[in-house]
Structure 1
Amino acid sequence: MPPRNYPPDVSNLVIASAQHPYRGAYHGRARGRSPDYLGPGFLLDAGRGSDSTINTIPQDDPYVIDDVRIDEGRYEEPHRSTGFWDPRMQGIRKQVAYEWARMLLILVLYIMAILCMYWAVLFHVNKNMVNITVHVVDFDGQVAPYDYVTPLVGPAVTDVVEQMRSMQPTLGYTIVPPEHYNYDPIAVRQAVYDWHAWAAIIINPNATALLQEAVATGNASYNPIGAIQFIIQSARQETVHANYIVPQLQTIARNFAAQFGPSWTQSVMTNDSLSLDVLTRVPAAINPGVTPLTIDLRPFGPATATPAVTIGLIYLIIVAFFSFAFFLPIHMKFVMPGAHPPLHYWQLIIMRICATVTTYFFVSLIYSLVSLAYQIPFWPPPASQTEPAFNATAYGRGSFVVYWMVNFLGMNALGIACENVAQIVGQPWTAAWLIFWVITNVATSFNSIELAPGFFKWGYAWPLHHIVQASRQILFDLHSEIGLNLGVLFAWAALNLALFPVCCYFGRWKMDRQRRSAERNAESYAVYDAAAEGQKKHVPKEKGVLPPIRKRGFMRGW
């Protein structure tokens, strides 16, 4: 049976005696020194122990007693916490209070400035509603074979529109002569589809003729709906239509019915040439006579499309932003020497670019698949541009791939910009950048810039604006500006990639500078020895002196 290992006997190291003038004096061999040499400041209390470490000590050291070094600082008092109002905390209290107040002031001013941009985008909506153009085109009695009729319906509608123009706030109603559209009502629909106007009011050429014919002949098949058409396209911007366009068009319809209905009914009932028996067969031609019909060329729907073109794109920014924090520690293992030499920094940059773009490729696919999983229709074919079409897409079964590529380019435009800024400003300011990047993109993408103050015209160049526009065009078969949208996103991605190496080298220089500053008060600084496979080596220096700059060369390793 092997001998049992007992703890070493240290009883001869400490003898505590209440009567001894030097409590805790040592009883034992002291090479050339008396026990009083230890003095009252040296206390070895075996009961309390010590936090210090006993290293190998030369045997001929005169300050060693029984292999225990007793030079000054041998015993270290353990750290003890204290109260907040302890006098020794006075300096740190002032420092913390100052830094807290300064950071609070910075955050308050920054948040106020950034959040004001989101509120401000809607500040002049009532004033800028005139930028939402609505074309009013009166074809009544203007086109053969109905040009012989004295128009009644068309002038009544234009009178109501003129009254609306005098009210505030109001849309930008523009009375357009029918020759501008070559006397073709379908051309007006095409203009709305092509975004030459947000909406249009069309008075058909036969509006008055059919109404008068109905009361004269007793045409029971007369339908009062459709002589006036309100043409809209809600998928272009559903909030603008729901909040501003549709309510005003409904007001026009009510005012028209209130003014035209009684006057028309009175004129019919006082016309002695009209037979009462005939009139009883066409009550709809007497009241209301004419009712506007709203035609939505591209309705917004289904409801699950809302996150695909609005709130869901915020998550696209956030995911692109946080991928930097997730993957940077993995990439940096190539340049943190251990069992391997550091990788050339320029190769690390190339690898990071490839890895980032590949990451965005797959993450954008997953993001796009979420929309597909919730049955946003990506397969219906394109539809007629002048007829209502629900769930039409721009490219049929190829729409999903185009939608995915738009999100992929968008992540490159949004995400690499975040990586560049993060390497320049560092923590904790990257969070401030994220707030700025999200709010400025959202403010100019989810709201119509036509309703915003002129200051926000820069929003036309922001990446998320073009992601939203391209996504709407793909999902709802809207007027296509896909070339412009992809061009802007490509430009952002190219600019970000061009700046990426510069930001990487700046970030490395900044980190080196911070490390040198931290090593100022140290007695040594660390370098990586290339001859020793990149192992860390400590080089001595004087306290208070900055270590030398580690020169690696522009294209060399870490």
Structure 2
Amino acid sequence: MVKMSKDGLFNSIMEKKLYPRAHENRKKVSDPSFQGPRKAFLLASAKSFVMLQVLFLGLFSYIFGAIYHQSNRVHNIEILFVDYDGGAVGNSFQQAYQTLKGPSFPTLIQRTPTEYPSAINQIHHVCNVDYWASIYIANGASQRVEAALTGLGSSHNQSDIAYYIWNEARYPAVVDQVVSSTLLLLSSTARIIYAKQNWTTTTLSPTAHQTFTDPWHLTSINLQPTAQGARLIYNTLVIVFLLIQQFFFLGTINALYDAFQIYTRLNPHRIFFFRWMLSAIYCLVGSLCVTGAIWAFRSGWQVNGNQFALTWVSLWLFAHANFLTLDVFTAWVPAPLVPMALITWVVLNVASVLLPFELSSPFYKWGYAVPAHCLYNTLVDIWSRGCNPVLYYALPVLFAYEVSSSILCAIGVHRRCHYAMVKMDQDAEALQVRIDTALKFERNKMREQREGGERRESVESMRRDREELGVEIEREMTRLERERSNTTVVEFGPSFGYH
């Protein structure tokens, strides 16, 4: 008995049992007939290789550039400083700022109490995004601290000396580090400077000693606390998932339209209206799901039902505007380049909301015209109850995408219908060529039979047979086309229409 090696057994199974025809009629790479296809294959592969490498190199460079040297641009973050006290405490904060001042520290803009008579005025300007935050020294703060140190007064309230006002909902991951942490550092440095300047050898009472070592606590006035873990992905993964969600459904819709030959059967106006309504309903439901997920995992975040509804509507507008924009890509960009256009669009949107423009290169300010930037700032305005008033430019930009993309999509539907009819005519012409070829072959065969004396039928009979053959071929092709239309098997996945 001949023993078969493991490789031979594997090849035998693969060739004869599992896929018996996989190795039939195969040519060698060196076969002359394969030279042309091989060259074309290598050229196409090389072209795709270069295009993808250049594309992703550019995208990586773009998104890394958006966050490049952000720590050196922290000084672009402006913070209001008002000293209502005018004493030693305020002076300590000013000296502390001069010590910490630099590219990696926010800029303190000092204003007089006359310009900002109360904390309410500061809250208004922080809410109006004139400043990222505001820090102020309470009136009489120095006197209360000095009285506690000298024993002339009772222990003072350490939380009623210095305050800072900020809105954590506005880029929470950034303001926690760039605003809150730096102001706490400023306060700590000011306490050290105050202690050095007010050092005394006099024996302090226990209360005075506690005051000396810990004279004040910087009190936070947070306009919208946003401390839940999900806040980290509101301006990243939420944007990415919304865009990909629209792209997947768009690819499915295009596949269905192709499979059921909608472009050759209905009026273009009806097709566009139905596509627009279907996409609007899809985006409405999808946005509701996203909003529901945000609310389900808000983890004690103080937002109400009105904010839920406004968030839902804003996400719907963004999702539908992007659905139409992606549809413009599929209608006008060559099909092989559509995925490249999608990933580029995703990166451009995400890069526009990764960081505030104050921390990025001025080049990236063109992101004001990107839908994701408008959406995120609209959401901040909603979540912080109007403390990010950017609707004057954010909503017009989103509506501009909605209107312009709708117009281009309508033209794109007409384009698809045109090329669908062209393709149908080409298919009909190809069918007619096959029929003519079959008839020509039959005529030649009959002519050869007649010239050879082997003809057993009359000329009239041959003409009738040819006509019957043509009718039968057309009938069979019509039947096959009808069966294919009635039993279409739809393969879900991206399809980008006719070009």
Matches within 5 A, 1:420-435: 420-435=328-343
Q: TM-score, normalised by structure 1?
A: 0.68
CA distance in 1, matches of 2:400, 2:75: 32
Q: Residue 458 and residue 244 in structure 1: after superposition, are their counterparts in 2 closer, same or farther (change >3 A)?
A: same
Contact 2:349 2:373 in 1 (8 A): yes
Which 5+ residue runs of structure 1 have no aligned equivalent? 1-77, 142-150, 271-275, 378-390, 527-531, 538-558
Q: Residue 293 and residue 181 in structure 1: after superposition, are their counterparts in 2 closer, same or farther (change >3 A)?
A: same
CA distance in 2, matches of 1:239, 1:252: 19
Contact 2:73 2:359 in 1 (8 A): yes
CA distance in 1, matches of 2:198, 2:219: 19
CA-to-aligned-CA distance 1:7-34 (integer Å, 9 cap, x gap)? xxxxxxxxxxxxxxxxxxxxxxxxxxxx
CA distance in 2, matches of 1:525, 1:353: 40
- The aligned counterpart of 2:413 is 504
Structure 2 residue corresponding to 1:101, chosen from 25, 46, 51: 46
Contact 2:79 2:107 in 1 (8 A): yes
CA distance in 2, matches of 1:140, 1:189: 18
- The aligned counterpart of 2:60 is 115
TM-superposed deviation, 1:218: 4.2
CA-to-aligned-CA distance 1:195-215 (integer Å, 9 cap, x gap)? 111122211221111112223
Amino acid at match of 1:343: L
Contact 2:74 2:106 in 1 (8 A): yes
CA distance in 2, matches of 1:306, 1:297: 18
CA distance in 1, matches of 2:262, 2:363: 46
Matches within 5 A, 1:17-36: none
TM-superposed deviation, 1:158: 0.7
Q: Residue 431 and residue 515 in structure 1: after superposition, are their counterparts in 2 closer, same or farther (change >3 A)?
A: farther
- The aligned counterpart of 2:308 is 400
Matches within 5 A, 1:10-159: 80-141=25-86, 151-159=87-95
Q: Residue 336 and residue 103 in structure 1: after superposition, are their counterparts in 2 closer, same or farther (change >3 A)?
A: same
Q: TM-score, normalised by structure 2?
A: 0.75
Structure 1 residue corresponding to 2:379, chosen from 459, 471, 478: 471
Counterpart secondary structure, 1:304: helix
What root-mean-square deviation, in Å, do the aligned CA atoms of Structure 1 and Structure 2 show?
Answer: 3.2
Q: Residue 375 and residue 501 in structure 1: after superposition, are their counterparts in 2 closer, same or farther (change >3 A)?
A: same
Counterpart secondary structure, 1:85: coil
Q: Quick check: 1:261 aligned with 2:217?
A: no
Q: Quick check: 1:195 aligned with 2:129?
A: yes
TM-superposed deviation, 1:101: 1.0
Amino acid at match of 1:85: S
Percent identity of equivalent pairs: 19
Structure 2 residue corresponding to 1:361, chosen from 261, 264, 284: 284
Q: Between Structure 1 and Structure 2, which shows a larger proportion of helix residues?
A: 2
- After superposing the two structures, state which structure 1 stretch, 96-105 or 190-199, moved more: 190-199
Q: Residue 344 and residue 80 in structure 1: after superposition, are their counterparts in 2 closer, same or farther (change >3 A)?
A: same
Which 5+ residue runs of structure 2 have no aligned equivalent? 1-22, 436-473, 480-499
Structure 1 residue corresponding to 2:98, chosen from 159, 162, 170: 162
Structure 1 residue corresponding to 2:173, chosen from 236, 239, 264: 239
Amino acid at match of 2:415: F
Contact 2:151 2:208 in 1 (8 A): no
Structure 2 residue corresponding to 1:213, chosen from 143, 147, 154: 147
Structure 1 residue corresponding to 2:403, chosen from 483, 491, 494: 494
CA distance in 2, matches of 1:525, 1:254: 88
Q: Residue 334 and residue 101 in structure 1: after superposition, are their counterparts in 2 closer, same or farther (change >3 A)?
A: closer
CA-to-aligned-CA distance 1:78-128 (integer Å, 9 cap, x gap)? 971123333432222222111111111111111122222111111242343
TM-superposed deviation, 1:479: 0.8
TM-superposed deviation, 1:306: 4.1
CA-to-aligned-CA distance 1:144-197 (integer Å, 9 cap, x gap)? xxxxxxx211112111112322x3322222222222213x23322332222111
- The aligned counterpart of 2:242 is 316
CA distance in 2, matches of 1:179, 1:376: 41
- The aligned counterpart of 2:158 is 224
Q: Residue 259 and residue 325 in structure 1: after superposition, are their counterparts in 2 closer, same or farther (change >3 A)?
A: same
Q: Residue 525 and residue 410 in structure 1: after superposition, are their counterparts in 2 closer, same or farther (change >3 A)?
A: farther
Amino acid at match of 2:136: I
TM-superposed deviation, 1:217: 4.0
Equivalenced residue count is 418
Contact 2:155 2:211 in 1 (8 A): no
TM-superposed deviation, 1:336: 5.0
CA distance in 2, matches of 1:348, 1:186: 55
CA distance in 2, matches of 1:331, 1:376: 43
Contact 2:332 2:412 in 1 (8 A): yes
Amino acid at match of 1:215: L
Higher-Rg structure is: 1
Structure 2 residue corresponding to 1:329, chosen from 255, 258, 263: 255
Structure 2 residue corresponding to 1:172, chosen from 98, 104, 107: 107
Q: Residue 83 and residue 520 in structure 1: after superposition, are their counterparts in 2 closer, same or farther (change >3 A)?
A: farther
Contact 1:420 1:504 in 2 (8 A): no
Matches within 5 A, 1:366-445: 366-374=289-297, 391-393=301-303, 396-445=304-353
Counterpart secondary structure, 1:180: coil
TM-superposed deviation, 1:313: 2.5
TM-superposed deviation, 1:419: 0.7
CA distance in 1, matches of 2:32, 2:195: 88
Q: Residue 508 and residue 118 in structure 1: after superposition, are their counterparts in 2 closer, same or farther (change >3 A)?
A: farther
Counterpart secondary structure, 1:195: coil
Higher relative contact order (CA 8 A, sep 6+): 2
Q: Residue 374 and residue 201 in structure 1: after superposition, are their counterparts in 2 closer, same or farther (change >3 A)?
A: closer
Q: Residue 155 and residue 320 in structure 1: after superposition, are their counterparts in 2 closer, same or farther (change >3 A)?
A: same
Amino acid at match of 1:419: D
